[in-house]
Amino acid sequence: MGGQTNDMNQIPDVPFFANHPDGGRSMLAVYKMVVDHFTHKVLDWEELDLLSGHRPQRKVWTVRALTLLANDFGLGVKHYEPFNYRRLASEGKDYLYELYDNEEVEWYAEHSNLQALGVYLTTFLATVRPLTQQAELKDIDTMLDEGRLVSVTLDGRILNGDLGNAYHAVLVIGREGDEYIVHDPGLPAQANRRIWREQLWEAMGGEENMSEVTGFMLRKAGLRLDQYVVREKPSLSRGYAVALIDSGKVTVNGQPSKPGYKLRDADTIFIDYDEADQPEVPDIQLQVLYEDADCIVIDKPAGLLTHNKGVRYVEATVASFVRSRISHMDGERAGIVHRLDRGTSGVIIAAKTPEALSFLQKQFHDRLVTKTYLAVVPGQLNPGEAIIDMPIERNPKAPASFRVGANGKPAQTYYRTMQTGNGYSLLELQPKTGRTHQLRVHLATQGHPIIGDVLYGGESADRLFLHAAKLEINLPDGSHHQFESAVPEEFQNRVR
């Protein structure tokens, strides 16, 4: 049971995310940490549900999520579990009847995503190649030494007493002596938690354990060299990565290479670039509409990014403004609950703790937040008040934009004409769904693109005439608030 000692400086800086407030998605929170750490993409709960096939009150088999993490996110996945997925693929429920009684098998068939696994099993077996055996602590140690993050399912009651769930997942990020360093999504959520090896082994089930133990690392094979550089140095744009490679600052196995070189897992990559060389993010002052121990509400000016997009030359953002106020969260998007486009001004809320972030994001996911926007458009909409109900999809001909399309996601926008004049209309808008560029796409489709929205055919202006005027939401302390930002003067001037 003894272990090797790791220097704490070698413990990776892994983003931490708390469990969903319903307490039942610890594994999804683990996936969120893994994806953010290796790919610098932050998945919301809707995306995590889609990744895993999660539905309320239903058990989720990990086959789907692990298959997609390996194939769509470029992760190397090593999975230990004393369950024979090859027999499940070939024998179906007949194999399950050997393990469980009839009632349990029928329960799994009805209350889990078992029936939907068929489309993933073949790929899962070919790419993940699960190991049909119990995991031991030495297997966790080996995967940590390989540079993997290791998810472990266990009995949370052994770790957290009455607060714990019988089925729980944690992320092991390192070890020091006889302790593992663990991100425990909770509830209660605890980042960098120290757990004795014996305690983890007991929570896994000891010699009789049925724990699912999965190691994750970034898979290099098949990636272009420039893609790999951006993944390793997320502050860089693809163009800057290409410039580094072309200048000989990036080598493969000690030799200069080309941006399009396809990597192999055995390749050794050296990147001669220090993140510390980046210019410091400039300080900015923003109007704070409200602040407590859990969150901060800001009146964002037009032209300010919500968070950095990974370009070479950093700039001040909402995220950089709140960074000094938050705790136990890292990364360019730390604390960001939702986003406003650069050109959009108005009310935006950020979280100060992982628990507050999860609480607030759940309301956006469950569409319990009332968002009210103002926009100025040319002409007059007829009728003056209605709901636009048109699905939205990414435009394959212009991937940076979106369009109305039959294969898109459902999207509904309520609008009301508040004022007209000078050939323009001031509209009140309430999105019933939260699709990217939803308000902009819907109004452009009606023939009334927002002023300043040149991406969707709007007339040129000094700014995008879209303003987040109100945000109605419940806060973690139990209070209900409606936050407001005044109508910009330039909006009123357009319709006088």
Q: What is the pLDDT of residues 130-144, one digit of tens each?
A: 999 999 999 999 999
- Assess contact for 473 and 297: CB atoms under 8 A: no
DSSP state of 176: E
CATH fold, domain 287-494, is: Pseudouridine synthase (3.30.2350)
Span 323-345, mean pLDDT?
A: 88
Q: Which of 361, 249, 236, 404 is nearest to 309 (CA)?
A: 236
Q: Which of 341, 366, 453, 477 is catalytic?
A: 341
What is the pLDDT at residue 1?
A: 37
Is 13 among the residues known to form the active site?
A: no
Q: What angle do helix axes 45-52 and 63-71 make, rounded to 10 degrees?
A: 110
Closest by CA to 334, choosing from 296, 362, 278, is: 296
The whole-number pLDDT of residue 467 equals 98
Rounded to an integer, what distance in angstroms lies between the CA atom of residue 56 and that of residue 49? 10
Mean pLDDT over each residue of the chain, to the nearest integer: 89
Going by pLDDT thresholds of 50, 70 and 90, the confidence category of residue 316 is: confident
pLDDT at residue 237, as a whole number: 67
**Which amino acid, residue 20?**
H
Measured between alpha carbons, how far is 323 from 23 in angstroms, rounded to an integer? 27
Q: Is 254 left (phi over 0), alpha (psi -120 to 50) or beta?
A: left
Tokens of 361: 């994001």
- Coil, helix or strand at residue 181: strand
Backbone angles phi, psi at 203, to 5 degrees: -65, -30
The fold for domain 225-274 equals: 3.10.290
pLDDT confidence bin for 3, thresholds 50/70/90: very low
- Residue 8: its pLDDT value, please? 40
Per-residue confidence (pLDDT) for residue 266, from 0 to 100? 80
Q: Who's near 397: CB < 8 A, 6+ residues apart?
A: none
% of the chain residues with pLDDT over 90: 58
- pLDDT bracket for residue 234 (50, 70, 90): low
Strand boundaries in 185-254, DSSP class E = 190-196, 213-218, 250-252
What is the pLDDT, as a whole number, of residue 7?
41
In the chain, where are the structural domains located? 8-218, 225-274, 287-494
Tell me how far apart the alpha carbons of residues 252 and 236 are, in angstroms, rounded to a whole number. Answer: 19
**Residue pLDDT, tens place only, 397-434:** 887 789 999 989 999 999 999 999 999 999 999 999 98
Q: Give the pLDDT score at 282.
A: 80
pTM over 0.75: no
Structure tokens at 479: 């209070």
As a residue count, the chain comes to 496
